[in-house]
Chain A
Amino acid sequence: MTQKQTPSQTIGPFFAYGLTPEQYGYNLTSIAAPEVAKKDQEGERIRIEGQIFDGEGTAVGDAMVEIWQADAAGRYPHSADSRGSNADFTGFGRVGTGTDPEQRFFFETIKPGAAGDGQAPHINVIVFMRGMLNHAYTRIYFSDEVEANAADPVLAGIPDDRRGTLIAKRDDSSAGPVYRFNIHMQGADETVFFDL
Chain B
Amino acid sequence: MTDKLGFKSRDWNSHPAYLSPDYKSTALRSPTKPLVPLAQSLSEITGPVYGHESVGPLDADLTRNAAAAGEPLGERIIVTGRVLDEDGRALPNTLIEVWQANAAGRYVHAADQHDAPLDPNFFGGGRCATNAEGWYSFKTIKPGAYPWGNHLNAWRPNHIHFSLFGPSFATRLITQMYFPGDPLLDLDPIFLATPQAARGRLVADFSLEATEPGVALGYRFDIVLRGRNETPMEN
Chain A residues engaging chain B, CB cutoff 8 angstroms = 1-19, 21, 24, 26-29, 31-32, 54-56, 58, 60, 62, 66, 68, 70, 76-81, 90-92, 98, 115, 117-119, 122, 124, 126, 128-137, 139, 153-154, 157-158, 162, 185-186, 190-196
Q: Is B225 an interface residue (CB 8 A)?
A: yes
Interface size on B, residues (CB 8 A): 85
Contact A17:B35 (CB < 8 A) given known A4-B198, A92-B48, A130-B25:
no
CB under 8 Å from chain A, chain B span 109-126:
109-112, 123-126
Q: Are B88 and A3 in contact (CB under 8 A)?
A: yes
Q: Is B67 an interface residue (CB 8 A)?
A: no
Instruction: List, in ascending order, chain A residues with CB within 8 A of B38's CB.
Output: 137, 154, 194-196
Q: Which of A29, A58, A118, A195 contacts B9 (CB 8 A)?
A: A195
Chain B residues engaging chain A, CB cutoff 8 angstroms = 1, 9-11, 14-18, 20, 23, 25-33, 35-50, 54, 56, 66, 84-88, 95, 97-99, 101, 107-112, 123-127, 161, 163, 168-170, 172-176, 190-191, 193-195, 198-199, 201-202, 222-227
Instruction: List, in ascending order, chain B residues with CB within 8 A of A80's CB.
Output: 42, 45-46, 168
Q: How far is the CB of A47 from chain B (nearest CB, A)?
A: 20
A58 to B123, CA, bound (A): 31
A6 to B36, CA, bound (A): 23
Q: Which of B99, B109, B198 contacts A7 (CB 8 A)?
A: B198
Q: How far is the CB of A154 from chain B (nearest CB, A)?
A: 6
Contact A13:B174 (CB < 8 A) given known A117-B1, A119-B41, A194-B36:
no
A10 to B51, CA, bound (A): 23
Q: How far is the CB of B217 from chain A (nearest CB, A)?
A: 22
Q: Are B202 and A135 in contact (CB under 8 A)?
A: no
Interface of B is mostly: loop
Among all A-B residue pairs, the 7 with the closest Cβ atoms: A18-B99, A131-B25, A78-B46, A131-B29, A55-B28, A195-B35, A18-B125
Q: Are B14 and A19 in contact (CB under 8 A)?
A: no
Residue of B109, B161, B201 contacting most chain A CB atoms (<10 Å): B109
Instruction: List, in ascending order, chain A residues with CB within 8 A of B168's CB.
Output: 78, 80
Interface of A is mostly: loop
Q: Are B36 and A157 in contact (CB under 8 A)?
A: yes
Q: Which of A7, A54, A58 contacts B15 (CB 8 A)?
A: A7
Q: Which of A4, A54, A68 contacts B48 (CB 8 A)?
A: A68
Q: Are A10 and B190 in contact (CB under 8 A)?
A: yes
Q: Are B202 and A185 in contact (CB under 8 A)?
A: no
Q: Which of B29, B44, B176 contacts A60 (CB 8 A)?
A: B29
Instruction: List, in ascending order, chain A residues with CB within 8 A of B17's CB.
Output: 133
Q: Are A8 and B15 in contact (CB under 8 A)?
A: yes
Instruction: List, in ascending order, chain B residues with CB within 8 A of A90's CB.
Output: 48-49
Contact A4:B224 (CB < 8 A) given known A17-B123, A194-B37:
yes
A190 to B227, CA, bound (A): 30
Q: Are B195 and A55 in contact (CB under 8 A)?
A: no
Beyond A54-B28, A126-B169, 14 additional pairs, beta carbon < 8 A: A2-B88, A3-B86, A3-B87, A4-B86, A7-B194, A11-B174, A15-B163, A54-B29, A68-B48, A124-B43, A133-B193, A154-B38, A158-B36, A196-B44
Instruction: List, in ascending order, chain B residues with CB within 8 A of A17's CB.
Output: 99, 107-109, 123-125
Q: Are A193 and B202 in contact (CB under 8 A)?
A: no
19 interchain pairs, CB-CB under 8 A: A3-B86, A7-B201, A10-B23, A10-B190, A11-B161, A14-B107, A14-B111, A18-B97, A55-B27, A70-B43, A81-B42, A91-B48, A117-B42, A119-B1, A133-B20, A185-B31, A195-B36, A195-B38, A196-B40
